């Protein structure tokens, strides 16, 4: 068992890679009543074209299979739904699908091990039939139509479609009514057997646990399964340019919504943690609550609350998103461009930079207060090849000179798009 400790925040993560390839992590939190467990597979909505280990032919499946699988995993051959079983035990259970991973989870204060029996059983025993697959198409179809009517989702998705030519990140995680119509039980079993192999998965548990003891309990509940080797994922080559600078959609909203995207040019995964930190600092300097631009837009009644700022990335894409509501989204877009030009011409104020850097470090530390945040963070970072402690260490190396380099490399106004939803 590998033990990684961060002395600054006095936290440890215990990591064991089991014989079957499964990575298990335990972050113990002494004296905390709540317990949280999350089990993820490195399989998300982007993975629709791949070569199965041991095969030579490319397999291509319809968009939306990863999300469809997530829905179907709870239904068991005995007629029970595992989500209902877990709920009846008094635990809060759920699942979700992202672009790069799918995860199953629950949290509780009591009956953790009773819930663990059901949890580890259903994730390892899929049950698909022609009938239950067809039934699920109707359920997911309703979900797709619901999201189509959700303005916050549409403004986000439209921004991705404006940025990307072929990268699957531009597609809705759920797929479409047309693509899910082509999903059958054979496709689900093939994707399950390919991606739900232990070597492609990670299980993270956080709470008042003895690491060795909880890992032994997990081992007891694992079925015999061997690593199936490396999965070759195939993605189309993405053009460096954006598709279009502006997209607008009419929907019933009280105030216009905007999503400003900046597509990362020449995307690579070098120094991904360090780069992520620098982007967070720059975004806060640009449009954060203490920024000059936010103050200006707020006083002019163009925005009324701080926009959401984020940097999304996996192994094959990266982009910045600034989202919120505004009386004049085009003015926000113009002002952000102008502010970026000022940064490039006048440089970054060193005092502001250091202040924001300290604030972000404080936010990183606060993430270790809640077992849910900790476990989800470690799983999400693991899927990107990152240990979450890296953020606490790498922030020291992010200086103003490095931030200027990232400003030039990533914040390219020629790669900016504006998505608007308004009446």
Catalytic (active-site) positions: 70
Which residue's structure tokens are 């051959």? 77
Please report, to the nearest 10 degrees, the dihedral formed by the alpha carbons of residues 181, 155, 360, 319 taken in order: 70
Q: What is the dihedral of CA 67, 70, 71, 77, to 10 degrees?
A: 140
Angstrom distance (rounded) from CA 331 to CA 222? 56
What would the two tokens of residue 395 be?
């922030």
* The two structure tokens encoding residue 71: 């829905």
Report how many helices (DSSP H) and strands (DSSP E) the chain contains, helices first.
Answer: 15, 15
Q: Which of 147, 169, 150 is nearest to 160 (CA)?
A: 169
Closest Cα to residue 36, out of 122, 94, 96?
A: 94
* Per-residue H/E/C for 371-384: HHHHHHHHHHHHHC
Phi, psi of 17 (to 5 degrees): -95, 115
**Burial of 42 by CB count in 10 Å (0-12 exposed, 13-18 middle, 19+ buried)?**
buried
CA 299 vs. chain centroid, Å, equals 34
């Amino acid at each position: 068992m590998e033990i990684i400790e961060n002395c600054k925040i006095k936290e440890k993560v215990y990591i064991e890679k089991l014989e079957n390839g499964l990575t298990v992590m335990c972050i113990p939190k002494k004296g905390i009543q709540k317990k949280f467990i999350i089990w993820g597979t490195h399989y998300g909505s982007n993975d629709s074209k791949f070569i199965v280990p041991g095969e030579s032919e490319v397999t291509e499946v319809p968009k939306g299979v990863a999300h469809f699988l997530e829905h179907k995993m709870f239904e068991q051959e005995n007629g029970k739904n595992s989500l209902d079983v877990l709920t009846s035990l008094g635990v809060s259970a759920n699942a979700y699908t992202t672009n790069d991973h799918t995860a199953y989870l629950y949290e509780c204060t009591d009956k953790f091990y009773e819930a663990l029996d059901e949890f580890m059983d259903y994730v390892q025993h899929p049950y698909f039939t022609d009938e239950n697959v067809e039934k699920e198409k109707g359920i997911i179809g309703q979900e797709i139509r619901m999201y189509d009517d959700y303005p916050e989702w549409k403004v986000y998705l439209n921004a991705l479609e404006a940025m990307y030519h072929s990268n699957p990140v531009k597609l809705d995680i759920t797929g479409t009514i047309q693509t899910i119509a082509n999903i059958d039980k054979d496709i689900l079993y093939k994707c399950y057997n390919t991606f739900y192999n232990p070597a492609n998965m990670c299980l993270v548990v956080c709470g008042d646990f003895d690491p060795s003891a909880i890992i032994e309990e997990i081992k007891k509940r694992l079925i015999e399964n061997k690593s199936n080797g490396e999965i070759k994922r195939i993605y189309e080559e993405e053009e460096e340019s954006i598709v279009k600078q502006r997209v607008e959609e009419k929907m019933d909203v009280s105030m216009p919504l905007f999503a400003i995207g900046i597509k990362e040019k020449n995307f690579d995964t070098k120094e991904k943690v360090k780069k992520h930190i620098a982007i967070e600092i720059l975004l806060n300097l640009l449009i954060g609550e203490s920024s000059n631009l936010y103050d200006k837009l707020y006083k002019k009644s163009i925005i009324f609350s701080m926009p959401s700022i984020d940097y999304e990335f996996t192994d094959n894409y990266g982009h910045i998103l600034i989202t919120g509501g505004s009386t004049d989204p085009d003015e926000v877009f113009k002002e952000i461009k102008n502010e970026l030009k000022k940064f490039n011409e006048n440089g970054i104020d060193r005092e502001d930079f250091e202040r924001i850097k300290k604030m972000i470090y404080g936010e990183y530390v606060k993430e270790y207060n809640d077992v849910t945040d900790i476990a989800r963070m470690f799983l999400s970072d693991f899927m990107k090849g990152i240990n979450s402690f890296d953020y606490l260490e790498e922030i020291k190396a992010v200086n103003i000179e490095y931030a200027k380099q990232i400003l030039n490399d990533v914040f390219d106004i020629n790669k900016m798009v504006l998505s608007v939803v308004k009446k």
